Structures are given as structure tokens and as C-alpha cells.
Amino acid sequence: GYDRPSPDHANAKVILLLSSHLETGHYFNPHAQRIMEGKQAGAKLVVVDPRMSNTASHADLWLAPWPGSEAAILLAIASYLLRTRRIDAAYLERWFNWRTYMTNLHPSEPADFATFLDKLEAEYSPYTFEFAAEEAQVPVERIEELAALVAGCDHKLSAHVWRSAAAGNLGGWQVARALWFVLALSGSIGTTGGTAPNGWNKFIPHGPNMPPPNEHWNELTWPAEYPLSCNEMSILLPYFLDEKRGRLEVYFSRVFNPVWTYPDGFSWLSALTDPEKVGLHVALTPNWSETAEFADYVLPMGHSAERHDTQSYETHSSKWLSFRQPVRRVAMERLGRPVSDTRDANPGEVWEENEFWFELSWRIDPDGSLGIRQYFESPYRPGEKITVDEYYRWVFENSVPGLPEKAAAAGVTPLAYMRKLGAVVVADSLYRQDERALTEIELAGVSADTDGVLRRPVTLDDAPPLVGEAGAVGVRHEDGTTTAGWLSPSRKLEVYSPTMRDWGWPEYATPGYIESHVSRRKIDVTRGELVLVPTFRLPTLIHTRSGNAKYLNEISNSHPLWLNSTDAARAGVQTTDLVRLSTEIGHLVARVWVTEGIRPGVCALSHHMGRWRLHEDEGSRWVTGRVDITHPDGPDSWLLRYRSGVAPFTSKDPDSARIWWDDPGVHQNLAFGVHPDPWSGMHCWLQKVVLEPAHEGDRYGDVYVDRQRAKQVYRDWLALARPTLGPGGQRRPEFLMRPVKPTRRAFRSGPASGAAVSDVTR
């Protein structure tokens, strides 16, 4: 149910990164610091990434595998650990749902732990080092070396699979699952120097007047085809609108740039400009963006220094909460100039988001008759509109454990404490939270089911938590102890997943290896076919949110296609040559950089770049080129072509006249069809491309898309899904993470549930 790990890098013995996480992952600064602390303390750093990076250059062992083979490598390590019994057997016996594994897969065998280990070893025996080496196209000795490091980690294996392989490949979720499998076998989950789930180390406070859960299911964001999706299926929204599954009366794109960021951005452009699909589009954004270009209203939101906000993330084994504040507003108030509206302090018309939503809600429901206004009323002045100060005052007084006591000891209010210090530690040294003993309050009114899961009675009107099942509080072990456990249905680590079985995928009930859509067998390099990696990040840029950062854009001022010398020689190209990369829905034109820093058979274009604007005097001219969008071969053909690149311009900042670079980059995502993974729903980012010298008439930065081909790709990938209702007619397993979960009744399909299949949020 958790969506990312929380590695304890600083105390690790082995650090395993399936990415360039040291320099470009979440969370860059705090994790980079702790990775280097771990290395300085003697930890071995292993990097698995087809591209050379600063992270790989610091590694004790770097594997550059064929993309998509990472799960095979990890399962070969798991097989080795099982074969040699270099495992934490006591941990596995207590925390694996091994009895469920035996009941479902080996019902005629003795249901004891020793037999389970034998059967598990046999299941993974095909994953040999040789098999993994062949899949990954790396020397077998490298995989053996990695396995030996993991086997000797002494419960201190910290690992991260930041997007990369998991987000790139068909079945990429099995990479994350295989990694967690290895962590469990080595006894490194939640330990000092090991890897915990991020939920153990991230704190989410709640505000006042929380509304009750709703009873409706939104088929546009949680469609029937993807009941196991990790997050909303927003990449498919334009296609769902095209199929008339619903219509958006009002659409808020909040710090969200799908025209640029998502695959097949022309589908978004088409939907956002069609009033039959989207009635009103409001872009809430701190930066001008390609999506804002097609909004009815563009409302400038504050950056972190222009708004109030709390933040917390998994930097190490603790929970903390920090408090952002609008700098000018705070300064004015300290100078004796009270501010009641952030627009009176911020530059331009920047309105902090909290105040906007407070005001909008009262404008929509001025007399409270719609039942909306009540959730935006002051908890201190009944019937009056809540203010930002009152909102955070309530949060810090009521929703942050230990903060009121710390503030009282300092002789100030909780709000004043956070305004002065800016952060508070909520809890520290949060290891092995699965073993946290349940309190008497938690145990009140619970009963154990046949698997030992402790539950309170619930009804269909109850709502599940963010992660986990409604009413479940923990697990009773065979030794009689009761602990919090995990947030899975069994409250254990599920080496066998009844969820996969019940939702129509029994063949993937255990950790496995799914061949990627860009596996080595599906790429013919002799025909110019390559795997394009479009997801690697530059440590200087942030998605499309750093377009106004002049120094960062000066540092990262070009967008080369990384190409191995072997592939360059085969294609007859060299550094600075223009090449055409053809995808399944079109093509793009990039400039080559020949390098040994990427493995043969793979090419790469970094994220962030390829920014554009339609008009001369709008957008961030530090980073964008001016483009035309035309339809050269009919209405379903779309061509984006630069009219001009980045160039000096006159502004209040004299540095704008000193711009010396001209490369805006290539908007590669436009040329990608949607690839929704049939299990996780994740877009599978890696692309099969054909590389050839640029054609006559091609220009740098060209992106051409055939929308009919794009629609066919959508249909092909949609056909891989298995729309399935789970036990009791459930639309989705209620334990899976989902924000703003509705009632359990809404999770169930049919007239009795009170939520029809056709319900959509308008």
C-alpha cells in the first residue's frame, strides 16, 4: 500500500540504488547527505542504472543492465539467499504470510515453515545468476558480486528504486516488489541501516472541520479497467473524455502541466480546447506552463516563500513537520503592518492557495445552504470565515503530537513556536514499527479473524484510512503477542497476495519477473532499434517548475541525446548530428552526443527540457523557444516546430539581455503513446525507437504525432487490462492507498452500493 521506501542510508552496510538517486531522486539534499555519510562509514554503494551518472561514479559496484531486467537480477539474488539459507528465517516465519502461501500453492504438503522454505527455494530456483546475466546483458560475475554483498549486509541493506525501472517498464511494479522481497529475506526491513516504508517516517497533519467521506465513485480517475492502480489514472483522462465516459464542467490543474509532462500531450491540448469535454479550465500554477496556455483562467499560486504550507518527508528514521511561511507577509507583520490577505504582501497578484480555497468556498455557498461553507468556518469564531492563522493555529494545537507541550515549555503558543522555529520533531528512532505493541485503547472492542488480524466492527458507511482496511488495527501472532503489523489485508508481508488472485491475476500472486515491453528480445539493434530512456533527471532542474530560475537554466542549457559509440557507428552519426527518433505514434528530432556513459542498445534524453511557448511575450523566456503547432497531413497530424530558440530579451533583470545559450531542448513526451501498465496503472515510460539520420526538411526540436496512431496505442494497452470486481463486488481493494477515500459502500459496485458504475464527478 505504501508508494515509496524510506532507506536508512547513513547507518547502512550496503546501499542499493536502482537509479541515479544520489543526485536526482527524492529527496535530493537529505538523501545525498546520508548516502555519503553511509559511504564514509564504510557502506558499499551499488548502483543499477544503464546510464553513467554522478551516483554511479561514486559506486563500489555499477551494473548497467538492459532496461527492464532489474527484477530478474533481484530474483536471482533472492534465489541465492534462499539456496544458501543466508536469510533471516525468524523474521520470515513471523512476518511472511507463509501459511497462506502453502494453502494456496501447496495444499497437499505439510503446512510447516521448513517445508515453506523448501517450496519457496524451488519456486525461485530458475532465477540463476546466468539467467539474470542473460536478461540484463551484463557479466555474470557482477551479479554474483552483488549477491555476495547483499548476503553479507547483516540486516543493513538500504535500497531505493526511485521511479526509474519501476516506472519505465511493463510490469515494472515487480521490480519494486522483488526489491522488497530481497529486503525481507535479508531481514533489512525497518531495521537500523535497513529500509522502511515511507509512511513510517512521514507525518500528515489534518485541519479542522474535516468533511465526512463521500459515497460516489469517480470512473474518470478510478476506472474499472485498473482496480489495482497505485494512483489515479489521469494519464488516460483525455481518452476517457473522448469516449464520452464523462464531461468536466470545471477542471482545476493545480501545479500540474500535463500538456508537457504526460505522454501524448497533444491529446491533452485537444481535450482542454474542446468545450464539449471541458467546460471551464482553471490553471493554478506558480509558473507559466504549456498547460496554462490553454486555460480559461490562470491563477498565480505562491512558491514556497510566498505561501503558508506544512511539509514532511522521509529523510531518515524519524517523523518531522516543517512550516513554510510567506516571507514578505511575515516581514511586514513583524514591522507592525498587519496583513489580512496575502495578495497585499506578495508581488503581483500571487494569492496563497489556502486563502483562495477559503474565499472560493464562501463565494460558492454564501449562506451555507449547499453544505460547503461549514467546512471553511473558523473553529474559534463560529459562523465566520476561517483565516490562515486560525487554520494553522488549530492544526498545531490539535493535530501534531507533542507540539503543544514543547510550545508550553518555551512559553509560547504552538503557532508562535512554529512561526519562530519552523520545524518540529514528532517522533524519532522509528525502527521496526511493525513490532509496535498495541495499546489498550487500540485493542478495545477488537476480535481476531482466522488469520489473526485484529478488527473492529465496521459498516458500509465507514471509510477506510489512507492506507489499510477499515477497522483493522493489528495482528495477533502465534506466540500471543499483538502488534501493529503492516497495512496489508493480512497485516503481514504478503509473499503470496490473495489480492492478485482475487482481482484476476493469480499468476502474479508471488514476486516475479514480467518481460518488459522493451526487453532485449523486442529490440533489433541491427535495424536501428534502441531503448529510449526519457526519465533521467538533471540535478539542476525540477520538472517544469524551474523555468524562471535563470542560473539553473544557464547551467543546464543543452539537451543532447546520449548515444553509445557502438550505436552511433552503426547509424553513421557523430556528436552534434541531428537524428530522427521514430516512436510508435510519430517522431522527434534530437542532437547526438556520443558517449561511453550509456550502455549499447540504449539512448537517453533527459527530463525537464523541451519547453515552448506560442507567443513572443509570454512564458518563461529563460528556457522556452517559440513554436508553431500545425497539421501538415490533415487534422489528425500534429507538428510542433520551433520558430526561434532561447534568446536575449529586455526586462527589469539586466541578466535577461546576457543570455548566451539558445537550445530550448526537445519536447520528447509529446511523441510517446500512453502505456498504462495493466496492473499498477503506471505509465511505462521507456520507448522503443528507431534511430536514423535526420530526414531532409527535419529541424532540431521537431515533434510529429499521428493522433490516430496514438489512439490505437491507447486501445492496444487498454486491451491488456482485466476489468475485475473483487470479493463482494468491490471496485478496488480498500487497503490500497487512495486520497480522499469514500465510504466502503462506494467501493462496492451495483445498485445496493448507492454508487452506480456510471457515476462521475462533474
* pLDDT for residue 256 is more than 90: yes
For residue range 135-177, list pLDDT tens digits in order: 999 999 999 999 999 999 999 999 998 778 999 999 999 999 9
Helix (H, G, I), strand (E, B) or coil at 443: helix
* pLDDT for residue 742 is more than 90: yes
pLDDT, residue 545, reads 78
**What are the grid coordinates assigned to 308, written together?**
503558508
- Give the list of residues 6+ apart from residue 380 with CB closer than 8 angstroms, or none: 390, 393, 394
* pLDDT for residue 760 is more than 60: no
Torsion of CA 392, 393, 397, 400, to 10 degrees: 20
Q: How far apart are CA 66 and CA 137, in angstroms?
A: 6
Pair 720, 713: CB distance under 8 Å: no
User: Which of 634, 644, 710 shows the shortest CA–CA distance to 672?
Assistant: 710
Helices 414-421 and 388-398, axial angle in degrees (round to 10): 100
For residue range 111-139, list pLDDT tens digits in order: 999 999 999 999 999 999 999 999 999 99
Pair 87, 118: CB distance under 8 Å: no
Run of H or E including 298? strand 297-300
Question: Same topology for domains 5-197 and 523-718, yes or no?
Answer: no
For residue range 170-211, list pLDDT tens digits in order: 999 999 999 999 999 999 999 999 999 999 999 999 999 999
How far, CA to CA in Å, does 547 sit from each of 261, 353, 658, 664, 679? 14, 21, 17, 11, 34
Q: How far apart are CA 417 and CA 395, in angstroms?
A: 13
pLDDT, residue 756, reads 32
Half-sphere exposure of 325 (CA within 13 A, CB side): 21
- Mean pLDDT computed over 495-514: 98
pLDDT, residue 646, reads 96
For residue range 655-683, list pLDDT tens digits in order: 999 999 999 999 999 999 999 999 999 99
Sign of the torsion formed by the C-alpha atoms of 495, 496, 499 and 505: positive
Pair 316, 352: CB distance under 8 Å: no
Q: Which residue is associated with the grid cell 508508494?
A: 3
**What are the grid coordinates assigned to 245, written together?**
465516459
Helix (H, G, I), strand (E, B) or coil at 420: helix
Does domain 5-197 sit in CATH 3.40.228.10?
Answer: yes
Which amino acid does the sequence have at 380? Y
Pair 492, 96: CB distance under 8 Å: yes
* pLDDT for residue 752 is more than 70: no
What percentage of the chain exceeds 90 in pLDDT? 90
> Domain locations in the chain?
5-197, 208-246+437-484+725-762, 523-718
* pLDDT for residue 758 is more than 80: no
pLDDT-derived band of residue 762, with 50, 70 and 90 as boundaries?
A: very low
- Mean pLDDT for the chain? 95
- Mean pLDDT computed over 12-41: 88
pLDDT, residue 750, reads 64
- In this structure, the chain runs to a length of 762
pLDDT, residue 26, reads 67
Helix (H, G, I), strand (E, B) or coil at 586: strand
Give strand pairing partners of 47.
17, 62
Which amino acid does the sequence have at 634? G
Residue 424, phi then psi, degrees to nearest 5:
-145, 140
Q: How far apart are CA 552 and CA 428, in angstroms?
A: 35
Strand 318-324, strand 423-428: pairing: antiparallel
Class of domain 523-718: mainly beta
pLDDT, residue 22, reads 78
- Mean pLDDT computed over 274-286: 96
* pLDDT for residue 334 is more than 90: yes
pLDDT, residue 538, reads 86
pLDDT, residue 28, reads 67
pLDDT, residue 530, reads 99
- Mean pLDDT computed over 363-392: 97
pLDDT, residue 302, reads 87
